[in-house]
Amino acid sequence: MGYVCERCGDLLDVVIGDVEVDGWERFRGREWGVWRYRELLPVDHTRKVSIREGGTPLIPCPKLAEWVGVKELYVKFEGANPTGSFKDRGMTVGVTKALEFGARGVICASTGNTAASLAAYAARAGLRCLVAVPEGAIALGKLLQAIAHGALVVKVQGNFDDALSLVMEAASRLGLYILNSLNPWRLEGQKTLAFELAEELGHDIQVAVPVGNCGNISAIWKGFKELHQLGLLDGLPRMIGIQAEGAPPFAELVKNGGDVLKPVENPETIATAIRIGRPVNWKKALRAVRESEGVVETVSDEEIMDAQKALARLEGIGVEPASAASVAGVKKLSELGEIEKDRRIVCVCTGHLLKDPNPELFHPYMEITVKPELDDLMEKLSHL
Ligand code: F0G
């Protein structure tokens, strides 16, 4: 039930042993989603706690491709998951595992989405749930979800990193099972995003992922590598990690070519989901970027908001700010000449627009108030 190796202190990783998967045929004909790939998930699927997660839309975005300056761009819209973010892929496996282990309750620290997702899956599983969030720094929609699903919400007077330290200290005292991304079983669920991309597009792609605690990019890379090892993929994609300029510890590590992460003490960005200064999965993510000959870049809040607006207005895809970081990053890398412009790009958009209902971010926007009369409407429209 542990999370770290007793010998070296690093986070545990799940190793898939001998699995019999002869080809993609094995999965075809099954419903899309995380459990389509059950042979590759080391958990008892007959007892799964599921709300039909995964199987999210892969959307071709020609207008966004032009805006970004690349030939072909797709959005993998993780906002279409049951609680509106990619976390559901991890939680369906993680919470199923928690039951398998006989846990009586679960706990996480969160910038919001993990809390929303865990609260929902814990409710479905009948487990107690405690979520620790940085006070005043999580988006409204996410807080609402945690409350609605009946979690105990602990507002920590500090940032996400402080909340996670507290959770790691408190979990065993409280007898609760941790479901942050340091939990290796949760990442097993998240790796299924790679399976879906591989099934739809093959390996010859570049995959851009917003990076906070470094869990998702690690999980996705693990998924691709497993397929490659099983002979289901002929090659491997290139991983692109994007961080916010004000919360860049992983990007700095990669850019400086170092081997030890230097934490950022006071991370700051409008993309609250990735406002993280001490990402726990940095070693796994570093392997992902280096092995895939990938790249990591940072983007400003302004670039994030521009990308959020472009997604919404050019393609009709509504995502929260952190999710737009992947698109903002690809645009910047394209301008810098650091991505292969002719190789397909997939931007993983991790969470839904409604998570962070903040019209202020969309200036300029059009809004008028009218009497319920045609004359008044016509009059007011004439002034625009
Ligand atoms: N995008 C969104 C919308 C997120 O909520 C997160 C992480 C990330 C990207 C980054 O993923 O941490 O695996 O690198 N949110 C966590 C949370 C930290 O608590 O909801 P990562």
Q: Give residue-wise pLDDT tens across range 123-172.
A: 999 999 999 999 999 999 999 999 999 999 999 999 999 999 999 999 99
Domain boundary among 166, 183, 200: 183
pLDDT band at 366; cut points 50, 70, 90? confident
- If asked whether residues 69 and 94 sit together in one domain, one would say no
- If asked whether residues 140 and 215 sit together in one domain, one would say no
- If asked whether residues 136 and 176 sit together in one domain, one would say yes
The pLDDT score that the predictor gives to residue 20 is 80
- If asked whether residues 136 and 269 sit together in one domain, one would say no
- If asked whether residues 217 and 261 sit together in one domain, one would say yes
Is residue 12 a part of any domain in this protein?
no
- If asked whether residues 150 and 62 sit together in one domain, one would say no
CB 213 less than 6 A from any atom of ligand 1: yes
Residue where the block lists tokens 């008044």 = 376
19-23, 322-326, 346-350, 367-371: lowest mean pLDDT where?
Answer: 19-23
- If asked whether residues 92 and 146 sit together in one domain, one would say yes
CA of 18 to the centre of ligand 1 (A): 31
Give the position, in ligand 1's atom list, of the atom nearest the Cα of 219: 13
Give the Cα separation of 380 and 382 in Å (integer).
Answer: 5
Nearest-5° Cα angle at 139, 332 to 211:
35
Q: Tell me the average pLDDT across 215-221.
A: 98
- If asked whether residues 163 and 193 sit together in one domain, one would say no
CB 272 less than 6 A from any atom of ligand 1: no
Give the position, in ligand 1's atom list, of the atom nearest the Cα of 218: 13
CB atoms within 10 A of CB 10: 10
Q: 261: closest CA among 278, 274, 273?
A: 278
Count of residues in the chain: 384
Give the position, in ligand 1's atom list, of the atom nearest the Cα of 111: 19
CB 249 less than 6 A from any atom of ligand 1: no
pLDDT, mean over the chain: 96
Q: What does the buried/exposed string (b/e) look like for 133-154 if buried means 16 or more CB atoms within 10 Å of the residue's CB?
A: bbeebbbebbbebbeebebebb
Domain boundary among 138, 153, 183: 183
- If asked whether residues 240 and 144 sit together in one domain, one would say no
Count of alpha carbons within 13 Å of 154, Cβ hemisphere only? 18
CB 320 less than 6 A from any atom of ligand 1: yes
Domain boundary among 151, 168, 183: 183
Is residue 30 a part of any domain in this protein?
no
Is residue 6 a part of any domain in this protein?
no
Is residue 249 a part of any domain in this protein?
yes
Domain CATH code at residue 90: 3.40.50.1100
The best mutation among 83, 111, 138 to test binding of ligand 1, ranked by most ligand atoms within 8 Å of the C-beta, falls on: 111
The best mutation among 75, 76, 113, 131 to test binding of ligand 1, ranked by most ligand atoms within 8 Å of the C-beta, falls on: 113
Tell whether the model's pLDDT for residue 19 goes beyond 90: no
Q: What is the count of structural domains for the chain?
A: 2
Give the position, in ligand 1's atom list, of the atom nearest the Cα of 112: 20
Backbone angles phi, psi at 154, to 5 degrees: -105, 115
Kindly state the percentage of the chain with pLDDT values over 70.
Answer: 100
The pLDDT score that the predictor gives to residue 312 is 97
Give the position, in ligand 1's atom list, of the atom nearest the Cα of 276: 18
- If asked whether residues 285 and 295 sit together in one domain, one would say yes
CA of 78 to the centre of ligand 1 (A): 12
Is residue 36 a part of any domain in this protein?
no
Is residue 374 a part of any domain in this protein?
no
Is residue 372 a part of any domain in this protein?
no
Is residue 345 a part of any domain in this protein?
yes
Tell whether the model's pLDDT for residue 1 goes beyond 80: no
- If asked whether residues 210 and 66 sit together in one domain, one would say yes
CA of 186 to the centre of ligand 1 (A): 13
Q: Enumerate residues 6+ apart whose C-beta is below 8 A from 277.
A: 159, 160, 161, 247, 249, 263, 264, 265, 266, 267
Residue range(s) defining the domain that contains residue 272: 58-84+186-361
Tell whether the model's pLDDT for residue 278 goes beyond 90: yes
Single-letter code of the amino acid located at 171: A
- If asked whether residues 171 and 242 sit together in one domain, one would say no
